[in-house]
Amino acid sequence: MPKLLHTADWQMGRAFTRFETEDGAALVEARFEAIETLARLANENKCDAVLVAGDVFDAQTVSDRTIRRVFNATTAFPGPWVMLPGNHDAALAESVWTRERRLGAVPENVNLALEPGVIDLELQKLSVLCAPLTQRNTYEDLTEPFNGLESPEEFVRIGLAHGSVQGLLSDDIDSTNPIAPDRAKASKLDYLALGDWHGTKQINERTWYSGTPEPERFRNNDAGNALIVDVSESGAAPAVTTIPVGRYQWHQWREILAVQSDLEQLLERLNGLPESTVLDLRLEGSVTLAGVHNY
């Protein structure tokens, strides 16, 4: 009865330069904490494996320190991790992943899917079919070879990929890194774990985007979650549970102030926000300055 934790799009090493230095640093810290939270969640839910569907790192050039901290943060979950290169951390001949290996930073229980193919987790009876990006952009569907990949019959068959499901997400016409919407069915996958879309999104019964665990933009719909995927046996429909893990909530407010009470209501809403809020507030309109006009 394999149970998985599905996550993606950590974008580690991203700098938040548009913010004040200390605020940006807090957002960076939150991303490391998110990995620790995921590891803890995998333990609490007795997961058999953690799958990271690409863009673990924001860039090939992240610091050695970031690399070490990422793998340190994973140590709380001693079971197998499978990490897939995405477009930001593609498995180039020389990449962030080859640097990690040279640094000796990758723990033994972390599997790096640097080449297309199957990673069999014997103990967990799991076959993970991997479609890593080996360049930043491709116009081929890298999950297409899944159709021809064999896996042991009694093993649960899981796909792991990073890109755009065609025809379902907005503005994806001719988009790079395409993925066929019916891939899970065509390749007889029990579940297809996807990354690249930063919000949590179900594509069909067996195909989901987990979204990023810690929001980092104002416009990612339903970001800040991880998915717990329970496949009772090979062929059974997966039970997928969305677990909120994000620390900061990002809001974008566009407010029009017309009368005095609009301002009062806005102040009330601002006071009601939790401390862990990132708010982009833009105001329009005009109000009198309360108490100034009484002469």
State the residues that interact with Mn ion by CB under 5 A. Answer: 55, 86-87, 196
Q: For residues 2 and 211, which CB has a smaller minimum distance to Mn ion in the complex?
A: 211
Inter-residue contact 63 to 96 (CB < 8 Å): no
Q: For residues 72 and 138, which CB has a smaller minimum distance to Mn ion in the complex?
A: 138
Q: Are strands 239-244 and 225-230 parallel, antiparallel or unpaired?
A: antiparallel
Output the smallest distance, CB 86 to Mn ion, in A.
4
Output the smallest distance, CB 54 to Mn ion, in A.
6
Nearest residue (beta carbon) to Mn ion: 196
**Region for residue 156 given its phi and psi (left: phi exceeds 0; alpha: psi -120 to 50; beta: otherwise):** beta
Output the smallest distance, CB 162 to Mn ion, in A.
6
Rounded Cα distance, 24 and 273, in Å? 19
Burial of 59: CB neighbours in 10 Å, binned 0-12, 13-18, 19+ = middle
**Could you tell me which residues are beta bridge partners of residue 228?**
5, 241
**Could you tell me which residues are beta bridge partners of residue 276?**
none
Q: For residues 190 and 196, which CB has a smaller minimum distance to Mn ion in the complex?
A: 196
Inter-residue contact 229 to 269 (CB < 8 Å): no
Q: Give just the sign of the alpha carbon dihedral 111, 103, 194, 245.
A: positive
Q: Which residue has the tokens 């033994």?
A: 108
Q: For residues 56 and 129, which CB has a smaller minimum distance to Mn ion in the complex?
A: 56
Output the smallest distance, CB 205 to Mn ion, in A.
24
Q: Provide the 10 A C-beta neighbour count for residue 99.
A: 16
Output the smallest distance, CB 45 to Mn ion, in A.
26
Q: For residues 86 and 211, which CB has a smaller minimum distance to Mn ion in the complex?
A: 86
